[in-house]
Amino acid sequence: MLARMATTTGTRFLAALRAAEPDLRLLTEATDTDAYRYDETAYLEPGHPLGVVFPTSTAQVAAIVRLCAEHRVPLVPRGAGSGLSGGATAIDGALTVVMTQLDRILEIDVANLTATVQPGVINADLGRAAAEHGLFYAPDPASFEFCTIGGNLAENSGGLRCVKYGVTRDAVLGLEVVLADGAVIRSGGKNAKDVLGYDLTHLFIGSEGTLGIITEAILRLRPMPPPMLTLLAFFPSVAAAGEAVAAMTSAGLVPATLELMDRFTIEAVDAAMRIGLDTSAGAMLMVESDLGGAAAEAELKVAADACEAAGSTSVLRAADTTEADWLRQARRKAHWSLEQAGVARMDDVGVPRSRVPQMLAAIEKVATAHSMRIGVFGHAGDGNLHPTYVMDRDDLAAGARIEAARADIYAAALAMGGTVSGEHGTGIAKRSYLVRQRGADSVRVMRSLKDALDPLGILNPGKVLEV
Ligand SMILES: Cc1cc2nc3c(=O)[nH]c(=O)nc-3n(C[C@H](O)[C@H](O)[C@H](O)COP(=O)(O)OP(=O)(O)OC[C@H]3O[C@@H](n4cnc5c(N)ncnc54)[C@H](O)[C@@H]3O)c2cc1C
């Protein structure tokens, strides 16, 4: 309760904020601010914010940050709150700064293949706007219909098309960032090549709101590729599907998407969406080519051969673009579908692509050892898998059991040279693994960067690095 009461510092700060920015939308009542406490990590207990604000310009963000620095009030940048590592969760006594009102696509520059956008733009809206010009924005997290570009940049998010086009980082040319003292800097620009000085753009990408607040971005667009051809392959086991993935990778195949679902996920998705997937299969791969014409046919032929050699029970093609859209939707609904079967917590590990079969086997072993239901789906072509713990709703020990299982899964991933976070960030959920994966010296460098850019420690404290 004490944490919910505004402190003297907080009261003074709010009065100063109201006086300095009378037009700023500011929420302070718990009934209003509660909706902004959580992200998609329901298992983490967030703090109670001092207030929640919705700036509408870079100048306003800068003014807010300056006041926060002056009053030593921490702040939490926030996009749509769809994060899966706790980055946007509220902190006691901090100001949550929601960036969704900065939602304009400022320019689509066809001549330079760039889009200049504010951070509150929804990922899918940018995709649609680019498509009107015959262009294509590649990064597409499964949450693309509701997550913001600011969140994507701050998490360096991945998605279904990363296997071919790379993650968010690979699509960014420049940023405008408000620093911890309220100064506004611009890094990068529209130049396709630009190497002057340190690369600050890529320092802010993936920094989860701990080094600066992104207020604008120049993003790389591409010419729109031809419509995708979609192949589905069903396998008797995840091991066989894993072998097919490894075979495609070593054959040099770089499809537009290469996604996997295990039996549990196939059943959950089919129960939820009724699209006639083969629920007797042990695993399914979805492989897509956007090469167009004969090149796409040839690419999918190599994929089909790899699937058959690995023991697939059937290999099918989507009849048309509508059916392909349905299948893609089905994959994007994997987490939601597993949630219908219990309390589902999605995890996120990555391994070098050739180790996908071993990682899938390791996850199965952990599920058996812990007597747990773990659905597996993910971006298999990237080596990025989402083991999802599905617990009975009345399992009081669920939290502890998940902790034990995920420790084993992470140990297996790290032993294979993998990562405990492929695309969902560090936030609060993964920060205790930072030293173990990166090493104490690397974390020391991270801390020096944090101290240099945010000496007062007001930017999203406790996220990524423990305070
Ligand atoms: C069903 C589902 C599917 C998902 N699929 C994927 C997927 O395929 N790939 C993937 O990578 N992720 C996925 N995610 C996770 C999530 O959608 C992404 O991390 C997304 O980028 C978060 O965007 P957001 O706008 O919701 O950000 P938020 O959750 O609001 O914030 C995320 C982080 O960004 C910081 N932040 C937000 N805006 C700014 C800004 N302007 N400046 C500085 N920092 C900022 C926040 O402080 C926080 O640390 C999925 C989530 C769900 C619920």
Q: How far is the CA of 209 from the centre of ligand 1 (A)?
A: 11
Indicate the CATH number for domain 2-98: 3.30.43.10
**Residues sharing a CB contact under 8 Å with residue 31, sequence separation 6 or more, in sequence order:** none
* Residue of 76, 155, 213 to mutate, ligand 1, most atoms within 8 A of C-beta: 155
**Residues sharing a CB contact under 8 Å with residue 262, sequence separation 6 or more, in sequence order:** 238, 282, 283, 360, 375, 376, 377
Indicate the CATH number for domain 229-415: 3.40.462.40
Give residue-wise pLDDT tens across range 156-186: 999 999 999 999 999 999 999 999 999 999 9
Query: Could you tell me if 410 and 420 are in contact, meaning their C-beta atoms sit under 8 angstroms apart?
Result: yes
pLDDT of residue 275: 87
Q: How far is the CA of 201 from the centre of ligand 1 (A)?
A: 18
Give residue-wise pLDDT tens across range 15-41: 999 999 999 999 999 999 999 999 999
Mean pLDDT rounded to a whole number for the chain: 96
Indicate the CATH number for domain 105-223: 3.30.465.10
Give residue-wise pLDDT tens across range 212-241: 999 999 999 999 999 999 999 999 999 999
Query: Could you tell me if 426 and 463 are in contact, meaning their C-beta atoms sit under 8 angstroms apart?
Result: yes
CA atoms of 3 and 17, how far apart (whole Å): 20
* Residue of 84, 152, 187, 450 to mutate, ligand 1, most atoms within 8 A of C-beta: 84
Q: How far is the CA of 15 from the centre of ligand 1 (A)?
A: 31
pLDDT of residue 6: 54
pLDDT of residue 230: 95
Give the range among 92-101, 292-301, 314-323, 456-465 with minimum mean pLDDT. 314-323
pLDDT of residue 2: 42
Give residue-wise pLDDT tens across range 58-84: 999 999 999 999 999 999 999 999 999
Q: Distance of CA 186 to CAs 4, 216, 314, 385, Å?
A: 37, 9, 52, 35
Q: How confident is the model at residue 1 (pLDDT cuts 50, 70, 90)?
A: very low
pLDDT of residue 3: 47
Domain spans in the chain, listed from the N-terminal domain onward: 2-98, 105-223, 229-415, 429-459
Query: Could you tell me if 378 and 259 are in contact, meaning their C-beta atoms sit under 8 angstroms apart?
Result: yes
Q: Residue 152 CA: which ligand 1 atom is closest?
A: 21
pLDDT of residue 5: 47
Give residue-wise pLDDT tens across range 406-450: 999 999 999 999 999 999 999 999 999 999 999 999 999 999 999
Ramachandran sector of residue 86 (left: φ over 0; alpha: ψ -120 to 50; beta: rest): left
Identical fold at 105-223 and 229-415? no
Hey, whose CA ends up nearest to atom 5 of ligand 1?
Answer: 142
Ligand 1 neighbours by CB, cut-off 6 Å? 39-40, 76-84, 87-88, 99, 119, 141-143, 147-148, 150-152, 154-155, 157-159, 208-209, 213-214, 335, 423-424, 460, 463
Residue 16: alpha-carbon gap to chain centroid: 35
- Helix spans in 83-181 (H): 123-131, 149-155, 162-165
Q: How confident is the model at residue 7 (pLDDT cuts 50, 70, 90)?
A: confident
Q: How far is the CA of 98 from the centre of ligand 1 (A)?
A: 13
Give residue-wise pLDDT tens across range 279-319: 999 999 999 999 999 999 999 999 999 999 999 999 999 98
* Residue of 37, 147, 149, 332 to mutate, ligand 1, most atoms within 8 A of C-beta: 147
Q: How confident is the model at residue 370 (pLDDT cuts 50, 70, 90)?
A: very high
Q: How far is the CA of 88 from the centre of ligand 1 (A)?
A: 8
Q: What residues does 187 pair with on adjacent strands?
A: 175
Q: How far is the CA of 124 from the centre of ligand 1 (A)?
A: 13
Q: Residue 336 CA: which ligand 1 atom is closest?
A: 1
Q: Residue 335 CA: which ligand 1 atom is closest?
A: 1
Q: How far is the CA of 90 from the centre of ligand 1 (A)?
A: 15
